[in-house]
């Protein structure tokens, strides 16, 4: 599969399925109070690339499984991703006012409700993982437990939360009064491996697990997705420099304004682009090493590297 029309059709079809499943996995009022239900749906159903859930579904296919078996895991990852965006946008964090082309949740609902909506999405993710797919098959139950562990580790202090803490500490004084962290190239890559890469890796690995992949296939998907995650962040950094707010759907130039360490700041834009392409080459080598011949994953990786938003 190329990154052309056939990939576009695949992305559109899977995105539509994910959107429907996300809406179905949220409890309706009166189970969820109307005001927090509205806040969760405002952010969750605002569109977006849905990269993580689509990568999860594509990974299930790539190991020869049925992608629908991975849909709960795919949606759980997107619930967690959306919670992280809500909290990242808060004044205490990135203090951003635009996300996915419209005002951020705290702007329209207030900081308190935004925090609660994020908390609700995070905990709903693990309810979905524990409950779906409903089965008495011991093999599927074992896969679910493995997925819960994978996603929990990626979302917590060993992954996304830890990476965000490092990011925050790189621009503000740390709680013990130390000056902001200074990140070199290795530190920047390590931060992004946690902040951005961990959840992308968990999405792909969860799909491979639910798709019944072998240990070798799952490990290869993990390595490839790690490269995808790094490439995604490099390109995000480039777009923050070169993109425009209307195209990105979020505020352009905010990283430079905040003095955050980025790949273009460290390497320049041209070298950063080359580094992203090298990620794609390493991802291909990882997948080929396990005889994963489905080119869809590589096409998604190519889209990550060459995207414009």
Q: Own/partner pairs for 273-281, CB < 8 Å, 24+ apart?
A: 273/234, 273/238, 275/234, 276/231, 276/234, 276/235, 276/238, 276/305, 277/305, 279/227, 279/228, 279/230, 279/231, 279/234, 279/305, 280/227, 280/231, 280/304, 280/305
Residues 77 and 137: their CA atoms lie apart, in Å, by: 23
Residues 103 and 278: their CA atoms lie apart, in Å, by: 35
Exposure string for 13-25, b = 16+ CB within 10 A, e = fewer: ebbebbbebbeeb
Residue 99, beta-bridge partner list: 102
So what's the pLDDT on residue 3? Answer: 41
The DSSP line for 178-238 is PPPP---HHHHHHHHIIIIIHHHHHHHHHHHHHTT--HHHHHHHHHHHHHHHHHHHHHHHH
Residues 302 and 235: their CA atoms lie apart, in Å, by: 11
Domains along the sequence of the chain with CATH: 5-306 (1.10.600.10)
So what's the pLDDT on residue 2? Answer: 43
Assess contact for 98 and 249: CB atoms under 8 A: yes
DSSP secondary structure letter of residue 135? -
A 10 A CB-CB count for 124 gives: 21
Assess contact for 171 and 260: CB atoms under 8 A: yes
The angle that helices 160-169 and 198-210 make with each other, rounded to 10 degrees, is: 170
List, in sequence order, the alpha helices (H) in the chain.
5-25, 34-44, 51-62, 71-88, 105-109, 111-131, 138-155, 160-169, 185-192, 198-210, 215-242, 245-248, 254-258, 263-267, 269-289, 296-306
So what's the pLDDT on residue 155? Answer: 98
So what's the pLDDT on residue 242? Answer: 84
Each residue's pLDDT expressed in tens, for the chain with a length of 309 residues: 544 458 899 999 999 999 999 999 999 999 999 999 999 999 999 988 999 999 999 999 999 999 999 999 999 999 999 999 999 999 999 899 999 889 999 999 999 999 999 999 999 999 999 999 999 999 999 999 999 999 999 999 999 999 999 998 888 766 666 787 888 999 999 999 999 999 999 999 999 999 999 999 999 999 999 999 999 999 999 998 887 554 555 565 566 555 678 999 999 999 999 999 999 999 999 999 998 866 889 999 999 999 988
pLDDT digits (tens, 9 = 90+) for 211-267: 999 999 999 999 999 999 999 999 999 998 887 554 555 565 566 555 678 999 999
Closest C-alpha among 25, 23, 81 to residue 51: 81
Residues 87 and 23: their CA atoms lie apart, in Å, by: 21
pLDDT digits (tens, 9 = 90+) for 31-52: 999 999 999 999 999 988 999 9
- Whether the CA torsion 206, 207, 208, 213 is positive or negative: it is positive
Calculate the alpha carbon distances from 309 to 6, 50, 100, 237, 306 in Å.
20, 12, 10, 11, 9
For the entire predicted model, the pTM comes to 0.91
């Amino acid at each position: 599969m190329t990154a052309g029309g056939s990939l576009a059709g695949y992305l559109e079809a899977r995105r539509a399925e994910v959107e429907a499943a996300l809406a179905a996995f949220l409890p309706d009022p009166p189970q969820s109070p109307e005001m927090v239900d509205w806040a969760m749906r405002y952010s969750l159903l605002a569109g977006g690339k849905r990269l993580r859930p689509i990568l999860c579904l594509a990974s299930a296919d790539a190991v020869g499984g049925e992608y629908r078996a991975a849909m709960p895991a795919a949606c759980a990852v997107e619930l967690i991703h959306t919670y992280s965006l809500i909290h990242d946008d808060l004044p205490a964090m990135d203090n951003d006012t635009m996300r996915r082309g419209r005002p951020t949740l705290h702007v329209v609902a207030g900081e308190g409700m935004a925090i609660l909506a994020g908390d609700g999405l995070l905990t709903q993710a693990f309810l979905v993982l524990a409950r779906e797919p409903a089965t008495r098959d011991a093999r599927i139950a074992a896969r679910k437990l493995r997925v819960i562990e994978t996603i929990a580790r990626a979302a917590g202090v060993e992954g996304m939360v830890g990476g965000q803490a490092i990011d925050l500490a790189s621009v503000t004084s740390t709680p013990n009064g130390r000056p902001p962290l200074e990140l070199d190239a290795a530190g920047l890559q390590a931060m992004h491996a946690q902040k951005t890469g961990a959840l992308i890796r968990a999405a792909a690995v969860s799909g491979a697990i639910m798709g019944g992949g072998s240990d070798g296939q799952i490990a290869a998907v993990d390595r490839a997705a790690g490269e995808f995650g790094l490439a995604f962040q490099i390109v995000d950094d480039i777009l923050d420099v070169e993109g425009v707010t209307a195209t990105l759907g979020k505020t352009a130039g905010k990283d430079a304004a905040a003095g955050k360490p980025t790949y273009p700041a460290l390497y320049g834009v041209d070298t950063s682009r080359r580094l992203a392409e090298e990620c794609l080459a390493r991802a291909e080598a990882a997948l080929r090493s396990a005889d994963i011949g489905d080119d869809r994953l590589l096409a998604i990786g190519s889209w990550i590297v060459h995207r414009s938003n």
